[in-house]
């Protein structure tokens, strides 16, 4: 990449790298390490014209992670209270950010992480629900 005059690396992490998630400590730690790797690599290869960024999605309704398999039926009606933009994301939401980061429009963007999460990262972390399980909206248990 350096010999070709530079380029762009886009890593895929998760919003869970930036907040605690009960029952998924290893996953969260791995993705947090990838986020820090993104920052460090950006500093290391930036002088070679290589940009390194990350995308941190929350729930994206996809073939690999279907919404109806990941979110229990009892919780599906609560999703609009969990996400300021309501509902899960779609694959094209992540793809659009990846295209931007790989393009010349992001020529001065490196070492960053863009959250594609409908605002869930901004709106809180996970807390126990009175009825069991977890929520990121404590006023809507």
Catalytic residues: 27
Euclidean distance between the first and the last CA atom of the chain, given in angstroms as a whole number? 49
User: How many residues does the structure list for the chain?
Assistant: 141
User: DSSP state, 70?
Assistant: H
CB hemisphere CA count around 36 (13 angstroms)? 7
Cα(10)–Cα(19) distance, rounded to whole angstroms?
21
Closest CA to 97 of 21, 10, 19: 10
């Amino acid at each position: 990449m350096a010999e070709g005059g530079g380029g762009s690396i886009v890593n895929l992490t998760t919003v869970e790298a930036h907040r605690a998630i009960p029952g998924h400590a290893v996953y969260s730690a791995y993705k947090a390490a990838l986020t820090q790797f993104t920052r460090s690599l950006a500093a290391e290869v930036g002088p070679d014209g290589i940009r390194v960024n990350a995308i941190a999605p929350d729930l994206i309704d996809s073939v690999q992670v279907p919404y109806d398999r990941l979110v229990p039926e009892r919780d599906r009606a609560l999703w609009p209270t969990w996400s300021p933009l309501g509902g899960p994301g779609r694959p094209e939401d992540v793809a659009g950010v990846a295209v931007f980061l790989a393009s010349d429009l992001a020529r001065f963007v490196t070492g960053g992480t863009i959250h594609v999460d409908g605002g869930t990262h901004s709106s809180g972390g996970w807390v126990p629900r009175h009825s069991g399980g977890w929520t990121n909206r404590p006023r809507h248990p």
